[in-house]
Amino acid sequence: MSIRQFSPRLRARRGLSPLRRITLLLVLGVAVALQISYPLLDGSTDKDMQEWLRLITIATVYWGAGAMCLHAWFAYGFGYAITYLSLTFSYALIIEQIGSRTGWPFGNYSYDGSLGYFIYGVPLVVPFAWVMLAHPLLIAARRISKHWVFLVGGFGLMAWDIFLDPQMVNAGRWTWKFDGPALPYSPNIPISNSIGWLLTGMGLMALLHLLLPQDRRKSGALIRVIDFFLIWSWFSGVIGNLFFFDRPGIALLGGVAFALILLPYLFSRRFGPPEQL
């Protein structure tokens, strides 16, 4: 009898079931469709349309976070997904509460009530925005570097926020009060915001890298979902700011910054060791 019949490793790393695959792709597809709809509807002064934009903003984050949590579950296991969700959500909620109350480390800002339900002064949707991006960036950072995961992942979160903040400030979802230097091409956003994202992003990535295992349970758990989500985050940020939001400077700045993470990751995925995460 062949010993291969008793290899739990081979059995554990089979692909996803059709139901899980369809569920994951469906949730991801809804998140992308919502994101596409936003710039197509933006710019209208109609009150009903503004309400739709508000709901789309919130729903995009929840569906995107749901897709990444499903991927974490299907690829790494339920325990991994729960640990990731609870740790990232709690970390983000604490950081956002400190930031909005004290002005450290991001700067002085306040959230608008249009972002929905609040938890101790922080909209519920905000920590889920961290959940949406931290999982794919952790995977990318681990693939790019073994020893600088916290720095690579933290930089990725900062780069993503370069796309996010101008859009949300323009929509009135939050506002800044500052007298110091502003982010290039964004006079309403302080440079301290990007510094704060880098610092807090590094802290989150250090915790996730320390507490979450690296080995995937299923090699067929659609790692291309992570590839697509990161590419889409870059593409939508560049195209949206360049052609829909009239912010070519942000398209350039955010595009270059996010590409510094995306390109090494994709290069490693294409040419790196197949078993490396």
pLDDT score recorded for residue 276:
47
Contact yes or no for 28/67 (Cβ under 8 A):
yes
Mean pLDDT of 163-192: 96
Mean pLDDT of 94-121: 95
Dihedrals phi, psi of 174, to nearest 5 degrees: -155, 160
Q: Lowest mean pLDDT of 82-86, 180-184, 206-210, 218-222, name the range.
A: 218-222
Mean pLDDT of 66-92: 97
User: C-alpha distances in angstroms, 129 versus 48, 160, 175, 217?
Assistant: 25, 11, 18, 25
pLDDT exceeds 60 at position 195:
yes
How many residues would you count in the chain? 277
What's the pLDDT band for 47 if we cut at 50, 70, 90?
Answer: confident
Residue environment code for 130-140, b if the CB has 16+ CB neighbours within 10 A, otherwise e: bbbbbbbbbbb
pLDDT exceeds 70 at position 133:
yes
pLDDT score recorded for residue 220:
66
pLDDT score recorded for residue 16:
84
pLDDT exceeds 90 at position 99:
yes
What's the pLDDT band for 274 if we cut at 50, 70, 90?
Answer: low
Residue 216 vs residue 13, higher pLDDT: 216
pLDDT exceeds 90 at position 127:
yes
- Residues 6 or more apart whose CB falls under 8 angstroms from that of 198 comprise 154, 155, 157, 158
What is the chain's mean pLDDT, rounded?
Answer: 92
Q: Lowest mean pLDDT of 60-74, 90-104, 168-182, 212-226, name the range.
A: 212-226
pLDDT score recorded for residue 48:
82
Q: Lowest mean pLDDT of 165-179, 218-232, 254-268, name the range.
A: 218-232
Query: What is the pTM (predicted TM-score) of this model?
Result: 0.92
pLDDT exceeds 50 at position 277:
no
pLDDT exceeds 70 at position 221:
no
Mean pLDDT of 194-205: 98
pLDDT exceeds 80 at position 23:
yes
What's the pLDDT band for 49 if we cut at 50, 70, 90?
Answer: confident
pLDDT exceeds 50 at position 124:
yes
Separation between Cα atoms, residue 130 and residue 136, nearest integer Å: 11
Mean pLDDT of 253-257: 98
